[in-house]
Structure 1
């Protein structure tokens, strides 16, 4: 198996990518996750500043309740540190610390607070500017009522029952859908109480409460139930709310992409898709900033990515009893090919060169390339590994490279 190495080095790829994206992550060698987002607020602080908030959250960025708090911290630009908790093996110190043993939890100036709603309210009290609750006393009271109702109105339970219920009975599904739509109608009416797109007159904690769940439902329902929330004419205010959220930079720092949400539902809850499990949002796939961020993430975290592929993708079997180093070289090459394509958006450099063509390709090289690109396409998790926009660009580029060379 031989490779005509026509692709830039990792060092050159990383340097070029960083010139085109401000996105940065801190490395966490030997830990999970292997990198973590740097809160936007920290970019403005001197190093070694004592941070007022410590957020305890899940390692994979799957928890919607953690996302609520992260969203508010980014919106309010509160400096914070993060302690990641492995939900499948919670450390004893954490279960001793937090009475519920659940995430999220936070220490705010050293005081422990848990339950996402309580953390949001504590942050608002401690850091009142910029405000995420209305200053007008009457509207403030209504917003607080909406916060309580988000936890008690049964919306989440009914929505996820419709999404996850394992039944083939058409009438039962119709009843579940009707109950879900009734809850969506209530949200429509709530969003109609104030002019503008948000639950109250300005963006607020109420929006951070609902956004993780509605995002996941909007991604999952078309794939697992054939039901569309976005673009549904029955819910114009919910759709206007989605559009308004999409204009907020903090939202893009914390949200997952559709594919992450869809793969998660199958892997964690065993749900069976009835539609395309891997729908790409083409609107994000060609944006320069997202392509550059994806290339930067891959280039900077390449050692972990290569190790993961060699360990978990099955590609090692292609070595037989031979030297695994040749397989590792081919994995490395295809990942550099992907990073190069993300940065340069030009024709994909062919592993066999410009002369000859596909008939000259080594079948083992082709198999390594196919496994590598398909594996990383579905392995990345947003926003654990990169932002949702970058993940979309990454997946689209992996598809294009694979289609172009094999």
Structure 2
């Protein structure tokens, strides 16, 4: 009998989302527990050496760091999402690392303390995405017809912009035809939609407002809706 699997998550963590997507794509039965990282319970700190999500409990074992968890799922679960060819598999792993760098840029963007820094951080995003544009084709996924772990990693990247686009026009995808098409396809994927709770967008908006950053100062006061994106 296979050991029980539990995903320990945070409501907004993009690294949790990539694991949730992979579990769904592979059809892995699992439980999910959400923790408040502002008030980390002792049992969680005992499982997570870095005090971060995700953590995947497999029986009595606790796995941390999303890249390691994705590889564990590839090694042990059906429906592989890495290419079979070793060179292509290594290339996909490298682009997963690139996706993590995009998330770092996004964090720098929404935490920028002043408008000048915000502009510089905003300019870094389309530069990253232009690099990624060069790797894409007709799709619908990163590797064409096959949904891969690279897709699972970039879905949370794109999800941020559902909120950012309602705050202002930061031009992250200007002229990037393939990136926009990929973003739309991922937004419609059931595993991607279900990786977060229905109130994710509201929670993200509240999180951004509390940052007291240059971006938060562009947002309307609580109680007033963000503008509708095109």
Does structure 1 retain, via aligned residues, the 8 Å contact 2:83–2:89?
Answer: yes
Partner of 2:186: 245
Alignment pair present for 1:197 and 2:145: no
How far does the alpha carbon of each residue in 1:37-64 deviate from its partner, in whole angstroms, 9 at most, with x for none?
A: xxxxxxxxxxxx9763111112xx2111
- Structure 1 residues 274 and 84: CA distance shift in structure 2, 3 A: closer
- Three-state SS of the structure 1 residue aligned to 2:80 is coil
- Distance in 1, matches of 2:2 and 2:121, equals 49
Partner of 1:90: 40
- Distance in 2, matches of 1:133 and 1:221, equals 31
Alignment pair present for 1:216 and 2:157: no
- Three-state SS of the structure 1 residue aligned to 2:175 is coil
| Offset, 1:203 | 1.2
- Distance in 1, matches of 2:44 and 2:110, equals 32
Partner of 2:105: 158
Does structure 2 retain, via aligned residues, the 8 Å contact 1:191–1:238?
Answer: yes
| Offset, 1:205 | 1.0
- Distance in 2, matches of 1:51 and 1:248, equals 28
Say which of 35, 44, 62 aligns to 2:12.
Answer: 62
Say which of 121, 135, 143 aligns to 1:176.
Answer: 121
- Three-state SS of the structure 1 residue aligned to 2:115 is coil
Say which of 195, 200, 225 aligns to 1:254.
Answer: 195
Which stretch has the larger CA shift, 76-85 or 49-58? 49-58
Does structure 2 retain, via aligned residues, the 8 Å contact 1:53–1:108?
Answer: yes
| Offset, 1:216 | 0.8
- Distance in 2, matches of 1:175 and 1:89, equals 33
Partner of 2:89: 140
- Distance in 2, matches of 1:277 and 1:148, equals 35
1:109-148 to 2 correspondences below 5 Å: 109-127=59-77, 129-148=78-97
How far does the alpha carbon of each residue in 1:184-210 deviate from its partner, in whole angstroms, 9 at most, with x for none?
A: 111212324xx5132223211111112
How far does the alpha carbon of each residue in 1:74-107 deviate from its partner, in whole angstroms, 9 at most, with x for none?
A: 1111011123322122122221222112111112
- Distance in 2, matches of 1:104 and 1:206, equals 17
**Structure 1 unaligned blocks of 5 or more:** 1-48, 283-406
Does structure 1 retain, via aligned residues, the 8 Å contact 2:81–2:148?
Answer: yes
- Distance in 2, matches of 1:174 and 1:86, equals 31
Partner of 1:380: none
Say which of 52, 70, 73 aligns to 2:4.
Answer: 52
- Distance in 2, matches of 1:279 and 1:258, equals 13
- Distance in 2, matches of 1:174 and 1:94, equals 37
Does structure 2 retain, via aligned residues, the 8 Å contact 1:57–1:84?
Answer: yes
- Structure 1 residues 93 and 233: CA distance shift in structure 2, 3 A: closer
How far does the alpha carbon of each residue in 1:270-312 deviate from its partner, in whole angstroms, 9 at most, with x for none?
A: 5223567434579xxxxxxxxxxxxxxxxxxxxxxxxxxxxxx
